[in-house]
Structure 1
Amino acid sequence: MADNPLFESRAEVRVNASPARVYAVVSDLPRSGEWSSECLGGRWVAGAPGTVGAVFRGDNRRAEDVVAWAPVVRGDWSTEAEVVAAEPGRAFRWAMRDSTGAAQDSVWAFELAPDGEGTTLVHHFRMGRPTEGIRKIVSGLDDTARARFFAEWGEKVAGDLADTLQRIRLVIEKDA
């Protein structure tokens, strides 16, 4: 399908709050509807919220115009993700699960570092092997369309990461 990693993108922002405060917000996945371009929020469905092994079911909505020509999910749908790292004040990561509940090689992350009186917050996404969803999307595409999809989807994800960080910064600094 494509060379590994299939997708890898990161964005960063400085937030005027301590790493502990920033971590408390970004690890509270039910609040993600306050800053995500697609996730409307959701709920913890297994494990202690925000701890390694906990499972989050996210409620999502994608607009019709997002990579409009490609056969991606549109409208409302849900996903499950499993927390794979929970290091207060340092890192919070979750892997998307497939339809059997297995963690996929699709990991979203927040990494934090002290920065003077604030925090440098990095939002990172990496997909090594294609997920169940990506395999479905590209299964009917020829090589040219696949290359176009991977390029356009990568741009979409990069933009989403940057937008998400700006919204998180505003939420945290407004509440400070």
Structure 2
Amino acid sequence: MRLLRDPHLEVSLHVDATPQQVWELVSDVTRIGEFSPETFEARWTRGSTGPEVGASFKGHVKRNGVGPTYWSPCQVTKCVPGEVFEFAVGTDSTTVTTWGYEMEPDGRGTRVTEYFTMSPALPFRLYWLVMGPLRGRTNERGMRTTLERMKAVLEK
């Protein structure tokens, strides 16, 4: 049954750039405001200065591009240049969501996949049960927009 599995969405796109070039862009969290329709800025925190497993940053979010803004604490969970950049959103003790980018060679370019996974904890599953259809569509549109904007920069 779909509701019992971890809520997971992903969007993929071909980019005429190398996996390393894509990785350098997606792992530079300070540039997310150029691409995301919801996260309009981000900065490294807790002494972190760049992408590596365990590095901390925070994203300044405006849900659906409207309403109040808030800062989301994040921590890098996977970081392999040219392959994957992933981060958990939440507190030190609770991950709410995990977001990431995977890159794989695709002809003369790269197939880049942005993905989102909701925490398997019961409160988040209940949230997804109620808000999942709407939030899922919004996240999917946002991921597509983010990737298309990154593609435009990478292919200049």
The TM tier, using the shorter chain, reads: 0.7 to 0.9
Q: Given residue 143 of structure 2, which amino acid in structure 1 is its aligned partner?
A: L
Change (3 A) 1:64 1:50: closer
Question: Which residue number in structure 2 is paired with residue 57 of structure 1?
Answer: 58
Question: Which residue number in structure 1 is paired with residue 39 of structure 2?
Answer: 39
Q: Does 2:143 correspond to 1:150?
A: no
Question: Which residue number in structure 2 is paired with residue 129 of structure 1?
Answer: 120
Kept in 1, the 8 Å contact 2:64–2:138? The answer is: no
Unmatched runs of 5 consecutive residues or more in structure 1: 66-73, 139-145
Question: Which residue number in structure 1 is paired with residue 70 of structure 2?
Answer: 77
Q: Residue deviations 1:88-138, cap 9 Å, x none?
A: 00000000122xx33515210100001121111000111132597x58x95
Q: Which runs of 4+ in 1 moved over 4 A?
A: none
Kept in 2, the 8 Å contact 1:56–1:81? The answer is: yes
Aligned-pair identity in percent equals 27
Q: Which has the larger radius of gyration?
A: 1
Q: Given residue 39 of structure 1, which amino acid in structure 2 is its aligned partner?
A: T
Question: Which residue number in structure 1 is paired with residue 151 of structure 2?
Answer: 169
Residue 56 of structure 1 deviates from its aligned partner by 0.7
Question: Which residue number in structure 2 is paired with residue 69 of structure 1?
Answer: none
Q: SS where residue 155 of structure 1 aligns?
A: helix
Output the aligned Cα RMSD.
2.3
Question: Which residue number in structure 2 is paired with residue 95 of structure 1?
Answer: 88
Q: SS where residue 56 of structure 1 aligns?
A: strand
Unmatched runs of 5 consecutive residues or more in structure 2: none
Q: TM-score, normalised by structure 2?
A: 0.87
Equivalent-residue separation in structure 2 for 1:162 and 1:130 (angstroms): 27
